[in-house]
Structure 1
Amino acid sequence: MSSLPLTFFLPDPQQVAQFQDADPDRDWALFNTGVHVWVGQTCLRLKRAGHPVQLAATAPRAGIVVAHADHVPLLLRQRRWLSPLTIVAARADRPRQPYADVEVVQNAASATASNAFHVQHWPQPGLVARDPGRGDAVRTVAFKGTVGEMTPEFATPEWADGLRAQGIEWQCDAVAWGGNGAAYQTSWNDYGAIDVIVAMRRDLSHLHEKKPASKLINAWLAGVPAILGPEQAYRELRRSELDYIEVASAGEAAAALARLASNPALYRAMAENGRRRGEEVRADACTAAWAHLLFETIPARYPPSLARLGWRSLRCRASAWRSQAAAR
């Protein structure tokens, strides 16, 4: 295992202080944006597993540093000229980050370059699984996510009324996206009284190759069948028809719900299959994958280099100077 210093970069001293003593499962509400999940949670999970990592608001003097793709330019501008670093960018759903040495991407299809590595996305921290006492009945169906990512049909009275006519309650646990720095009041961790998860994006013209399989992973771990739109990350994980039901319209989603509601054996089989598949994507499995990448793969292939990083720092600072001059 590498002895290089490993730092997670979060350029907000208040957030760094907030995360220092946080527990991802106890303080799950802190981890509902890409920056906090990819940087804050990853650091804390590794630290709790005994790995030598630190979270900092300033660029380290040496070693490997992990940052969200949005923060790589700031990291390079802060970097001291003689500080040898290997920069690992969590790309999230951003474009390729050209200033990083290594990128971590959210699904296998995005790992198109030799320096891009897919690590399975973290499951929802603090997840509360479905109450097994609810049996096989489909009584409550939910969407969990942001309003802008949900097909508008799920927000119509007709959708909720149609489910109510079948004896099914519709719960829309959604918020408007306000950026990575916003605070969100949600129940994204709580599946205790949820029987089925439904999620379909408003844009079905492509497979959303940059997005993770979070909704499927969380449904598996919660023991809840999932009805999902067509997406690359879901398809990469699919091994059988019991993993999830794919739909491409609200009508197809309603038909899938009716099928689950009328077939308790199918419901039970999907829930049990999901619990088995969930063993592959638990937080400890993600922790092990991150540790292997950061302490073994990257140090061996991408050791810190002043020469390599110096040009990137110079280009990044020049770009910032040009932007500031143009704004005057």
Structure 2
Amino acid sequence: MTFPRYNFVIDCTDAALAEYLRLDTETAVKIYTRGDLNWCLQTYHILSKHSSLAVQCSNKMLPGFINIIHSDQLLQQKGQASKFIVCVRADYPGRRWAHYHLVQNKNQLGPNTSFIPHWVQPGLIKRDANRTAVSRVAYAGEAFNGNLAGTVDTWKQLLAPHNIQFVTLSGGSWHDLSSIDILLGIRSFDEQPHNTKPPTKLFGAWHANIPFIGGHDSAFKQVGVPGEDYLLVTTPDEAIAAILKLRDDQALYNKLVQNGRRKATLYTEETIAQAWVDVLTGPVLQRYRAWLAKPFLEQARFNTLLSMGNLEHQVKQLIKKVVGKKMKSAI
């Protein structure tokens, strides 16, 4: 049987691709803020280093390869029946015509789907060991896109009376947690599970030796234990109480850090790389061989599901447009 080859697909020009393939660590920290670069380019670089798989990275899907492509790029490129496609779903819809899906939350699992943890933030700088007080609470991510419950100004106002600063770390600086004492990852003040979201922020806190306060994300509960390696809150009052508890209770602070440090050993570049290898050489390869064995049936399947997927996307976009117009007219 032919040895499988894996092609990680990113969205870029040929000139940009050449630069991406020459990435150094410092540059990588700055660019891994886009889905396809996070999931496909980064994975290509790491598997090149940590595995014996025949991997390459390109800007298009190729016949004769197992093509791994982000959901957003797959929507643009579509693909052809002659190409085997693994869709990295991330925080996007699955694509019906893909032959296999990779997801970042176990609640996204289904037929021909595997869970792989997202990579830990590259170039991560841990909390400065000389820090002893709790004076800076941070959210590492974009705060404008609905991933942070409340507004930045509200958080600042809530913490100001306690002489605690609230800061946001934007893209390109998410990795530097040296001056942060507590990390927040609260998407909403309710019990929504946010089943498409990853536990990445919790991984970052564990690796940076920083206590983490999160909401009811299913991803956090899948890998962590509330009260043991992170704190779970539902309301703003609970969040502030948790922050003050960590400030005033050194034993609790140390407990979360120590337990998080142990958990961090389960989610490293090496262990996640092995998860990729296990999935790519296990269920993905099995699905690829089944695809090779029934070319006519698979071609019909692909063409039918591509048409259905395109129609589904068009309907969703139309609904968004109609809803958007109604909301504007109501203002």
Q: TM-score range by the shorter chain?
A: 0.7 to 0.9
Match of 1:295 among 247, 265, 281: 281
Q: Distance in 2 between matches of 1:320 and 1:296?
A: 30
- The answer as to whether partners of 1:260 and 1:267 remain within 8 angstroms in 2 is yes
Q: Distance in 1 between matches of 2:238 and 2:156?
A: 15
Q: CA deviation at 1:273?
A: 1.1
Q: Check 1:240–1:246 CA distance in 2 against 1; reply closer, same or farther (3 A cut).
A: closer
- Aligned equivalent of 2:300: 311
Q: Distance in 2 between matches of 1:278 and 1:31?
A: 20
The structure, 1 or 2, with the larger RCO (C-alpha pairs under 8 Å, 6+ apart) is: 1
Q: Does 1:141 align with 2:137?
A: yes
- Aligned equivalent of 2:320: none
- Aligned equivalent of 1:235: 221
- Alignment deviations for residues 63-106 of structure 1 (CA, whole Å, 9 cap, x no partner): 211011122244444x4x6x4x3311101112222111110011
- Alignment deviations for residues 254-305 of structure 1 (CA, whole Å, 9 cap, x no partner): 1001111110111111111111110111111111100111123321343243
Q: Distance in 2 between matches of 1:320 and 1:235?
A: 34
Q: Check 1:71–1:162 CA distance in 2 against 1; reply closer, same or farther (3 A cut).
A: closer
- The answer as to whether partners of 1:7 and 1:55 remain within 8 angstroms in 2 is yes
- Aligned equivalent of 2:103: 105
Q: Distance in 2 between matches of 1:92 and 1:308?
A: 28
Of 22-31 and 126-135, more deviation after overlay is shown by: 22-31
Please give the TM-score of this superposition, normalised by the length of structure 2: 0.84
Give the counterpart letter for 2:36 in structure 1. V
- Aligned equivalent of 2:122: 125
- Alignment deviations for residues 151-208 of structure 1 (CA, whole Å, 9 cap, x no partner): 4534225x3244233232211224xxxxxxxxx4x41001111110012114736210
- Aligned equivalent of 1:45: 46
Q: Distance in 1 between matches of 2:273 and 2:186?
A: 29
Q: Distance in 2 between matches of 1:246 and 1:318?
A: 40
- Aligned equivalent of 1:163: 159
Q: Distance in 1 between matches of 2:246 and 2:228?
A: 11
Q: CA deviation at 1:11?
A: 3.7
- Alignment deviations for residues 100-125 of structure 1 (CA, whole Å, 9 cap, x no partner): 111001111111x2311001111111
Of 305-314 and 137-146, more deviation after overlay is shown by: 305-314
Within-5 A mapping of 1:46-65: 46-50=47-51, 51-65=53-67
- Aligned equivalent of 2:8: 8
Q: Check 1:154–1:72 CA distance in 2 against 1; reply closer, same or farther (3 A cut).
A: closer
- The answer as to whether partners of 2:189 and 2:235 remain within 8 angstroms in 1 is no
- The answer as to whether partners of 2:10 and 2:40 remain within 8 angstroms in 1 is yes
Q: Check 1:57–1:308 CA distance in 2 against 1; reply closer, same or farther (3 A cut).
A: farther
Q: CA deviation at 1:311?
A: 2.5
The DSSP-based 3-state class of the residue aligned with 1:141 is strand
Match of 2:234 among 231, 244, 248: 248
Q: Check 1:25–1:281 CA distance in 2 against 1; reply closer, same or farther (3 A cut).
A: farther
- The answer as to whether partners of 2:212 and 2:230 remain within 8 angstroms in 1 is yes
Q: Distance in 2 between matches of 1:205 and 1:55?
A: 40
Q: Check 1:274–1:101 CA distance in 2 against 1; reply closer, same or farther (3 A cut).
A: same
Please give the TM-score of this superposition, normalised by the length of structure 1: 0.85
Give the counterpart letter for 1:8 in structure 2. F
Give the counterpart letter for 2:5 in structure 1. P
- The answer as to whether partners of 1:25 and 1:127 remain within 8 angstroms in 2 is no
- The answer as to whether partners of 1:151 and 1:203 remain within 8 angstroms in 2 is no
Q: Distance in 1 between matches of 2:265 and 2:237?
A: 32
Q: CA deviation at 1:61?
A: 2.1
- Aligned equivalent of 1:66: 68
Q: Check 1:276–1:318 CA distance in 2 against 1; reply closer, same or farther (3 A cut).
A: closer
- The answer as to whether partners of 2:246 and 2:252 remain within 8 angstroms in 1 is yes
Give the counterpart letter for 1:70 in structure 2. D
Q: Distance in 2 between matches of 1:62 and 1:239?
A: 43
The DSSP-based 3-state class of the residue aligned with 1:252 is helix
Q: CA deviation at 1:26?
A: 5.2
Unaligned stretches of 5+ residues in structure 2: 315-331
- The answer as to whether partners of 1:76 and 1:312 remain within 8 angstroms in 2 is no
